[in-house]
Structure 1
């Protein structure tokens, strides 16, 4: 579900240009995008030079319900075979022990070998009380940057 910032029991985001976020529910909700780097204008030569790839995501919980957050970002070759992967352990947010404000996760890929053609970016989570509705983790402000 896409909701307006700051939403029920939520916090404003530090960047006022960000006005919406993706909210998850009681079942696992994941959002995935596969970026075709050649379609984005990069050349095979640029990609084979192994540019540094930086990814960033922001997540937060609600003040009234716990939640979990997870992210997986994969560098893929032309056959969509994983070259390198970033999959940290899922994070559980408890409103009784955490202020549930927006938190950043970031990662930098380097020295992954020639052949990069796609990037898969998947994130999301769910609430921990299994409430019907959109009480799970919220995600926004995602980015993928290549330094060519």
Structure 2
């Protein structure tokens, strides 16, 4: 089994290892599951999540694959790279979720990008339970040296506090 290259994927260490690229409203916060108006996670090992606010909140990690002890030769063989994320909303407030994962070369130029359309969760027509998004990269060519993983969102009611999308259990793996 491949190891998760993201550090602090579920907030056990608060915001350690994450670069806050957008930190609006009341900013990011780490809360215990299930949280107010929330749902339990299907993975019992996940006990915390990151909560967003009423203005855009995005956070990112850039993984240096050579520093993670992958060889250039292994990486140039185009191993399957898989990104996963879990997100949910509150049962009392709508929210939006977004994710962008990029494979980058040694100059931080994008080789391939996964950026699905933002998702809006509305508690009036969605149970706002935890949902998983997964994407596997292949056929991206030689040269990958870094992976950028950025996610977040905000609430749709613009309520003061942490009523936006919740994220946890993120992972990036490389199958060499």
**TM-score band w.r.t. shorter chain:** over 0.9
Alignment of 1:51-70 (within 5 A): 51-70=79-98
Task: Please give the alpha-carbon distance, in whole angstroms, between the structure 2 residues aligned to 1:106 and 1:97.
Answer: 23
Match of 1:7 in 2: 35
Aligned-pair CA distance for 1:10: 0.2
1:85 counterpart SS class: strand
Alignment of 1:1-148 (within 5 A): 1-148=29-176
Task: Please give the alpha-carbon distance, in whole angstroms, between the structure 2 residues aligned to 1:101 and 1:113.
Answer: 37
Q: Which consecutive residues of structure 1, in runs of 5 or more, have no partner in the other structure?
A: none
Task: Please give the alpha-carbon distance, in whole angstroms, between the structure 1 residues aligned to 2:121 and 2:137.
Answer: 27
Give me the CA root mean square deviation.
0.4
Greater share of strand? 1
Which stretches of structure 1, 4 residues or longer, exceed 2 Å deviation after superposition? none
How many pairs align?
148
2:167 counterpart SS class: strand
* Higher relative contact order (Cα pairs below 8 Å, separated by 6+ residues): 1
**TM-score calculated relative to the size of structure 1:** 0.99
Cα deviation, 1:3-55, whole Å, max 9, x if unaligned, reads: 11110000000111111100000000001000000111101001011100011
Q: Which consecutive residues of structure 2, in runs of 5 or more, have no partner in the other structure?
A: 1-28
